[in-house]
Structure 1
């Protein structure tokens, strides 16, 4: 047994190997890439929906804002994990969809729907507050007096001034999605490995199955990678905050 003979470590395998002789370093690289693509993709969709929803809610206010806010309250009341489980069960039982997407594709689609379902609510709330802050400013009132239409006021005058706060608050959505994926994969709620695809969460689950005492490297290195990702994105968010608002430079929120 190669794994037993080498004790999981080989000079060319920087992070060791698993029980199948697969390079953990390579699997971590591909798993991190997949997790990052998933996190960035879902975050961009949530930001797009949240900015549009929050812009309309904050700009028009009144009854429009009241109705839209109650709708977001209903959306927020249903946990994403319930949506994930319902979608997973329904998609797996759908023979045609399972044939077209495969098991991995079904879990990816279910995860996408679950975290886009309510992931935009936070961005919408931040956008709404920024529109309430800026829509009463003199330059907006002057533009409206000169005959500027709603679309121009929203996209040319208000939204550009709110973009700094939106970017800094939205960038942390990426590590949040990655951490959620890792947690759900580790718990076995979702499984992306049926077609050979790996993610950070699936590698954590494999490390836990291998055993911490006998093969600690299989669990240690994925934990280090996900910790570094969380730290890097937090530092990146702080850097963007300082760049967009110099008055907060070096301060802690």
Structure 2
């Protein structure tokens, strides 16, 4: 009887795929599951911003009348929070804060997704190529990556953003806020691919010496087939984890640069713009600063916790 039970358990373990094992680990992490739900909630709110604002009867560009007093401050407690304006109204102007943050989250997620995808794509391509083939190109790319990692990227973005935006507008590629978003994404990718490249390069160099790769080489497989069939599948877990950890970093970066005046400009809105405007009203209307800050912290924190949970789920040594 005991032998049959052990046999059934062993068969059950053997039949589980790595994806099923990782999913089971992830479901056991309650913090990660709740963080995943929170992330999905914020992401859906961002995607469905036009429908949500229409359902609440608000808009991010409309200046509402009768919501500000003679000092241009919101009427009512907590920045004018009411059924008509769930998160209050903007001091000095009278726009709805709820609509501003919904549409602002669209820009934040857009910048984060594009920057993350481009950084991972470039880092994956260069990391695999240099890690597998090595040689002089590996040495040149490695020194260039070291140079970028030691470079004051934040100061360069602040200093060169305006001239590059003017150049992009002059060429006609994009104008106004679209040009600012394009330049910001280019800078974030330019300074952001190096960390993932170094990680992928080290793993590609390690996988290059594994038995299954050497066996494929002995059988006459081409380098392209070895990279696609043998090395790349072993790098996807690293890419997934890096993606989940890069998204909150880029969302926070976009908010920071918009706060400093490098990102988009009104009438567009992001968390950074709202917080930058709220600093001037924090004494008379602290809710205007507190509410966007709490929402931004919740988004970044949930993404970070989700990334930690995914990393633990994909780590075969987790829980040991």
Equivalent in the alignment of 1:176: 249
Give the alignment partner of residue 78 of structure 1, picking from 136, 151, 154: 151
Give the alignment partner of residue 128 of structure 2, picking from 55, 69, 91: 55
Query: Which sections of structure 1, spanning at least 5 residues, go unmatched?
Result: none
| Greater C-alpha radius of gyration | 2
Q: C-alpha displacement at 1:42, in angstroms?
A: 0.8
2:169–2:176 CA contact under 8 A, matched in 1: no
The more displaced of 225-234 and 40-49 is 225-234
The more displaced of 59-68 and 106-115 is 59-68
* Matched residues, number: 246
Q: Distance in 1 between matches of 2:183 and 2:119?
A: 15
Q: 1:111-170, CA deviations, whole angstroms, 9 ceiling, x for partnerless residues?
A: 012111121001101101111221111111000000111111111101211221232133
2:248–2:303 CA contact under 8 A, matched in 1: yes
1:242–1:248 CA contact under 8 A, matched in 2: yes
Structure 1 segments, 4+ long, off by >6 Å, are: none
Q: Distance in 2 between matches of 1:102 and 1:29?
A: 23
Equivalent in the alignment of 1:123: 196
Q: C-alpha displacement at 1:106, in angstroms?
A: 2.4
Q: Distance in 2 between matches of 1:77 and 1:200?
A: 29
1:164–1:244 CA contact under 8 A, matched in 2: yes
Q: Distance in 2 between matches of 1:130 and 1:43?
A: 20
Give the alignment partner of residue 270 of structure 2, picking from 199, 208, 212: 199
2:131–2:205 CA contact under 8 A, matched in 1: yes
Q: TM-score, normalised by structure 2?
A: 0.71
Does residue 1:222 correspond to 2:295, yes or no?
no
Equivalent in the alignment of 2:309: 239
RMSD: 2.0
1:183–1:201 CA contact under 8 A, matched in 2: yes
Rate the CA distance shift 1:93–1:147 in 2: closer, same or farther, 3 A.
closer
2:127–2:197 CA contact under 8 A, matched in 1: yes
Rate the CA distance shift 1:222–1:151 in 2: closer, same or farther, 3 A.
same
Helix, strand or coil for the counterpart of 1:22? coil
Q: Distance in 1 between matches of 2:168 and 2:187?
A: 18
The more displaced of 153-162 and 75-84 is 75-84
Helix, strand or coil for the counterpart of 1:12? coil
